[in-house]
Structure 1
Amino acid sequence: MTPVNGPDARPPVVAIVGCAGAYGRWLTCFLSERMGLQVIGHDPALADSLSPRTLLQRADVVVFSTPIRDTPAIIESFARLADGIEAGQLWLDLTSVKQAPVQSMLGSRAEVAGLHPMAAPPKTVTLKGHTMAVCRARILRWQAWLDALLEELQADCVEIDPQAHDRAMALVQGLVHATHMVQAKVLCVLAADAGGLPGLHGLRTTGHQLDLAVTGRILSGNPAIYTGIQFDNPHMPAVLARLAAAAAELRDAVADGSSDARTAVAERFLQVPAAWFGDSVLAACSHDFERMGYLQADLQDRRFISVYLPQDRPGSLRALLDVFERLGINLASIHSSRTPDGKLHFRIGLDRLPVALESLRAAVEDAGIGLVLDARDGD
Structure 2
Amino acid sequence: MPVSPRIGLVGSQGAYGRWLRRFFEQRMGLQVWGRDPVGDTALSERALLEEVDVLVFCAPIRQTPEVIRHYADIAAGIERGQLWLDITSIKAAPVAAMLSSQAEVVGLHPMSAAPKSATLRGRAMVVCEARLDAWRPWLEAFLAASEADCVRAEAEQHDRVMALVQGMVHASHMVQGAVLRELAPDVGGLDAIRPFASVGYELDMAVMRRMLASNPAIYQDIQFDNPHVAPMLERMSAQLDKLCDLVWRGDNVARDQLREQLLERSRDYAGKQSVAEGSYAFERLGYLLADLREPRFISVFLPLDRPGSLRALLSVFEQRGINLDSIHSSRSADGELLFRIGVSRDGDATALQDAVRAIEAEGIGRVLEASGIA
- The TM-score, its normalising length taken from structure 1, stands at 0.96
Q: Over aligned residue pairs, what C-alpha RMSD do you find? A: 1.2
Q: One-letter code of the match for 2:12?
A: C
Q: Does residue 1:353 correspond to 2:354, yes or no?
A: no
Unmatched runs of 5 consecutive residues or more in structure 2 = none
CA distance in 2 between partners of 1:353 and 1:359 (Å):
12
Map of 2:52 onto structure 1: 59
Candidates 77, 84, 90, aligned match of 2:77: 84
Candidates 282, 286, 292, aligned match of 1:289: 282
Map of 1:176 onto structure 2: 169
Q: Does residue 1:233 correspond to 2:226, yes or no?
A: yes
CA distance in 2 between partners of 1:47 and 1:165 (Å):
31
Contact 2:12/2:40 (<8 A) preserved: no
Q: Does residue 1:273 correspond to 2:266, yes or no?
A: yes
CA distance in 1 between partners of 2:18 and 2:361 (Å):
38
CA distance in 2 between partners of 1:19 and 1:243 (Å):
37
The share of aligned pairs that are identical, in percent, is 52
Q: What's the CA shift for 1:348? A: 0.9
Show CA shifts across 1:134-190 (max 9, x none).
001000000001111111111001111101111111101110000000000111110
Map of 1:194 onto structure 2: 187
Contact 1:43/1:49 (<8 A) preserved: no
Map of 2:359 onto structure 1: 364
Map of 1:250 onto structure 2: 243
Q: One-letter code of the match for 2:98?
A: M
Q: Does residue 1:21 correspond to 2:14, yes or no?
A: yes
Q: Does residue 1:73 correspond to 2:69, yes or no?
A: no
Map of 2:27 onto structure 1: 34
Map of 1:326 onto structure 2: 319
Q: What's the CA shift for 1:257? A: 1.3
Work out the number of aligned pairs and report it: 372
Q: One-letter code of the match for 2:188?
A: G
Map of 2:199 onto structure 1: 206
**1:83-162 paired onto structure 2 within 5 Å:** 83-162=76-155
Contact 1:16/1:40 (<8 A) preserved: yes
Q: What's the CA shift for 1:266? A: 0.8
CA distance in 2 between partners of 1:333 and 1:94 (Å):
37
CA distance in 1 between partners of 2:21 and 2:210 (Å):
25
Q: One-letter code of the match for 1:253?
A: L
Secondary structure at the counterpart of residue 116 of structure 1: strand
Contact 1:327/1:355 (<8 A) preserved: no
Which contiguous aligned blocks of 4+ residues in structure 1 show a shift greater than 6 angstroms? none
Q: One-letter code of the match for 1:128?
A: R
Contact 2:72/2:101 (<8 A) preserved: yes
Q: Does residue 1:314 correspond to 2:307, yes or no?
A: yes
Map of 2:296 onto structure 1: 303
- The TM-score, its normalising length taken from structure 2, stands at 0.97
Q: One-letter code of the match for 1:175?
A: M
Q: One-letter code of the match for 1:237?
A: A
CA distance in 2 between partners of 1:55 and 1:334 (Å):
47
